[in-house]
A and B are shown apart, each in its own frame.
Chain A
Amino acid sequence: MTVKVGIPRALLYYYFYPQWLSFFQHLDVEPVVSHRTTRGLLEKGLRSTVDEACLPVKLAVGHVLDLKDRVDYLFLPRLVSMARREYICPKFLGFPDMVRNTIDHLPPVIDINLDLYHKRSNAYNFFQTLGKMFTKNPARIYLAYRASCQAHGNYCKELESGALPGELKTLANSNGKNGGMADITIAVIGHPYNIYDRFISMDMIKRLFESGVNVVTADHLADSVIRQEAGKLPKQLFWTLNQRMIGAAYHYFNDPEIHGLIHVASFGCGPDSMTGELIERFARSRSTKPLLVLTLDEHTGEAGIVTRLEAFLDMVRWRRNLADVAATL
């Protein structure tokens, strides 16, 4: 019987899943992903999380609850740092402990550290420790690691060429088939686990597609572009994800193909409140592009987001038409 490892469809799932999938498959371990977010799943998470946690963490707890009774292990790696001299939000760091202390009857939790902060640290240590739990053969682990890196590289390339993660990919393709109805391009800037989760984002990306909008995100840019843009800040941001958001926002503000930006923050997220402010300041002082700031919380009423999106798109189109007229004069 193959061992089942549960992966919550939350947090950095949207970033690392292809890599983890490939690694586990090469070791004949069966990865099990939690179901898509639903209201029931979110409510379970809200009930079992401490009040101070942010919405994405509460949601991730919901996904853990969804998985815990049907897997042999829970894969909740302790993500400390994804790049040198950068950190992941402390709530990610404490996530495995938060889960262990609030949920009873858990399967064994795999909470190996992924810490690339220091010069000599590398991701192989992480995968080596992980692999040893399932096989004694170091060569197999090494090969699985190589394959997983390749999978991650392919995934990044796919995103850079304009694809969206997971189920959103098919959405984008079907939109393209309808004869390129999109007449404006909007950059959606936000944490991957907010903007790609169709429930939490209230299906924002699909709504945009349906309103004739092309959507681009930070993941469509090469890492080097993002780092270069984020480097324009007087002091480097040490949160990897927020650095990606800032870098992408700066890039898109200067990209003539982009008609407007939407910054998506989640309620209770400390880093978001700061990057939001940085992006807003840039928008006001050094750009003429429209910016919409949306804050997501556990509200299920869609009227608020629909009204703001509609008004924003009206504004973007109105301004673009005016610019078109001006260009012909």
Chain B
Amino acid sequence: MYGYLGIDVGSVSTNLVMMGEDGAVKHSIYLRTRGKPIEAVQAGLKMMKSALPSKIQVAGVGTTGSGRHLAGVITGADIIKNEITTHAIAASNVVPGVQTILEIGGQDSKIIILRNGVVADFAMNTVCAAGTGSFLDQQAFRLNIGIEEFGPLALQARVPVRIAGRCAVFAESDMIHKQQMGYNVEDILAGLCEALVRNYLNNVGKGKEILGPVVFQGGVAANAGMKRAFEKALETEVIIPPYFNVMGALGAALLAREATSRKKTDFYGFEVAEKDFKAGGFACDGCPNICEVVEITESDRVIARWGDRCGRWSDVLEQKEKIS
């Protein structure tokens, strides 16, 4: 039995998906990255191995997310793809005919417009992280509410409070103000969801034609309050796919299946989880650019370098590999 592994290393979460040949998800894992992407990938691989029947064989690996190159180097990925493409591929496989994808993750949010099954336009948030998972996390913590309770509580709201959503910092002070005025928590939470949706539609979704079916994915889609706020603002049904929080990884697995259709996988095996990887870095002093070079070592052997603009460090490595 063959399986395809997709790994999505994001800023907040690291997700792994094992997909069967038919495209069905066999097992999915959602972990917090906690600032240590290599360890998160290794932990995920360990969990994946113990959860799978031993007869399954990995036929392809794909990585995505902001840590995709890192994950790709340590696992020997067959394909390393950006998160916009993987999210689009996963959504159009799970919900055929999807025309709009709303994706809100830990640190960034994006909108992807598809027409006739092909990406027609996309946008990502720029420097502003208002309306992403991290902000909701923080506010839930501040109100002493578990992030899991956030959604159900917001759904109980009767009159959502109007909160300024232009900026996370202002939203927070506005929220505190409303709370001190005596509004109840449910209404504030629902108001917060609506503010974030407004901010998302004005910033990320600016000028985009949002047509149904609309799919909402990414970690924030777990929040039922956000789903309802989107439905209210867009006046259309919003679909949350069953594996909404690992869609990036699923897309990577789908691409890995395509990439290995005519070749064998480069996957190093689940032993990768036991290896000793270190990520180090140094500032190159070759020129005034002072590039921050990242160096990945496996038991004191340098396996990858990047971050230098001129190729002084990364090219040397490639040459060595070619010779040996």
Residues of A within 8 A of B (CB): 38-41, 199, 203, 280, 284, 290-291, 295, 297, 303-304, 306-308, 310-312, 314-315, 318-319, 322
Binds A, one of B39-47, B114-122, B130-138, B238-246: B114-122
Q: A39-B288, A40-B289, A308-B124 are in contact. Are A318 and B82 (CB under 8 A)?
A: no
Contact of A315 among B122, B124, B127, B288 (CB under 8 A): B122
Q: Is the beta-carbon distance between B119 and A314 smaller than 8 angstroms?
A: yes
Q: Is the beta-carbon distance between B82 and A295 smaller than 8 angstroms?
A: no
CB interface residues, B 189-217, toward A, < 8 Å? 207, 209
Contact of A38 among B119, B124, B289 (CB under 8 A): B289
Q: Is the beta-carbon distance between B84 and A311 smaller than 8 angstroms?
A: yes
CB interface residues, B 71-101, toward A, < 8 Å? 81-85
| Of A40, A41, A304, A311, most B-chain CB atoms within 10 Å | A311
Q: Is the beta-carbon distance between B288 and A311 smaller than 8 angstroms?
A: no
Contact of B82 among A290, A307, A319, A322 (CB under 8 A): A307
Q: A280-B207, A303-B66, A311-B82 are in contact. Are A41 and B120 (CB under 8 A)?
A: no
Q: Is the beta-carbon distance between B85 and A310 smaller than 8 angstroms?
A: yes
Identify the closest chain A residue to B84 (Cβ): A311
Q: How far is the CA of A199 from the CA of B287 in the complex (A)?
A: 13
Contact of B126 among A295, A311, A314 (CB under 8 A): A295
Q: A280-B207, A311-B85 are in contact. Are A318 and B290 (CB under 8 A)?
A: no
A residues near B120, Cβ cutoff 8 Å: 290, 315, 319
A residues near B81, Cβ cutoff 8 Å: 310, 314
A residues near B126, Cβ cutoff 8 Å: 295
Q: How far is the CA of A318 from the CA of B124 in the complex (A)?
A: 19
Q: Is the beta-carbon distance between B118 and A314 smaller than 8 angstroms?
A: no
B232 interface residue per 8 A CB criterion: no
A residues near B122, Cβ cutoff 8 Å: 311-312, 315
A selection of 5 A-B contacts at a CB cut-off of 8 Å is: A284-B209, A291-B121, A295-B126, A303-B66, A307-B124
Q: Is the beta-carbon distance between A307 and B289 smaller than 8 angstroms?
A: no
Summarize B's interface: helix, strand, loop or mixed.
Answer: loop
Q: Is the beta-carbon distance between B82 and A314 smaller than 8 angstroms?
A: yes
Q: Is the beta-carbon distance between B118 and A310 smaller than 8 angstroms?
A: no
Q: Is the beta-carbon distance between B121 and A290 smaller than 8 angstroms?
A: yes
Q: Is the beta-carbon distance between B288 and A40 smaller than 8 angstroms?
A: yes
7 extra A-B contacts, CB within 8 A, seeds A40-B289, A41-B288: A39-B289, A40-B290, A199-B289, A303-B66, A307-B124, A311-B122, A318-B119
Shortest CB–CB separation between residue B9 and chain A, in angstroms? 12
A residues near B116, Cβ cutoff 8 Å: 322
B309 interface residue per 8 A CB criterion: yes
Q: Is the beta-carbon distance between B82 and A310 smaller than 8 angstroms?
A: yes
Contact of A307 among B84, B209, B287, B290 (CB under 8 A): B84
Q: How far is the CA of A318 from the CA of B127 in the complex (A)?
A: 28
B residues near A310, Cβ cutoff 8 Å: 81-82, 85
A residues near B207, Cβ cutoff 8 Å: 280, 284
CB interface residues, B 268-295, toward A, < 8 Å? 287-291
A residues near B66, Cβ cutoff 8 Å: 303, 307
Shortest CB–CB separation between residue A213 and chain B, in angstroms? 16
Identify the closest chain A residue to B309 (Cβ): A203
Q: Is the beta-carbon distance between B119 and A315 smaller than 8 angstroms?
A: yes
Identify the closest chain A residue to B68 (Cβ): A307
Q: How far is the CA of A51 from the CA of B189 in the complex (A)?
A: 38
Q: How far is the CA of A291 from the CA of B121 in the complex (A)?
A: 8
Q: How far is the CA of A312 from the CA of B110 in the complex (A)?
A: 13
Q: Is the beta-carbon distance between A38 and B287 smaller than 8 angstroms?
A: yes
| Of B116, B118, B124, B207, most A-chain CB atoms within 10 Å | B118
B residues near A322, Cβ cutoff 8 Å: 116, 118
B residues near A315, Cβ cutoff 8 Å: 85, 118-120, 122
Shortest CB–CB separation between residue B156 and chain A, in angstroms? 38
A residues near B83, Cβ cutoff 8 Å: 307, 311
Identify the closest chain A residue to B288 (Cβ): A40
Shortest CB–CB separation between residue A312 and chain B, in angstroms? 8
Q: How far is the CA of A28 from the CA of B290 in the complex (A)?
A: 37
A residues near B289, Cβ cutoff 8 Å: 38-40, 199
Q: How far is the CA of A48 from the CA of B84 in the complex (A)?
A: 38
Shortest CB–CB separation between residue A279 and chain B, in angstroms? 12
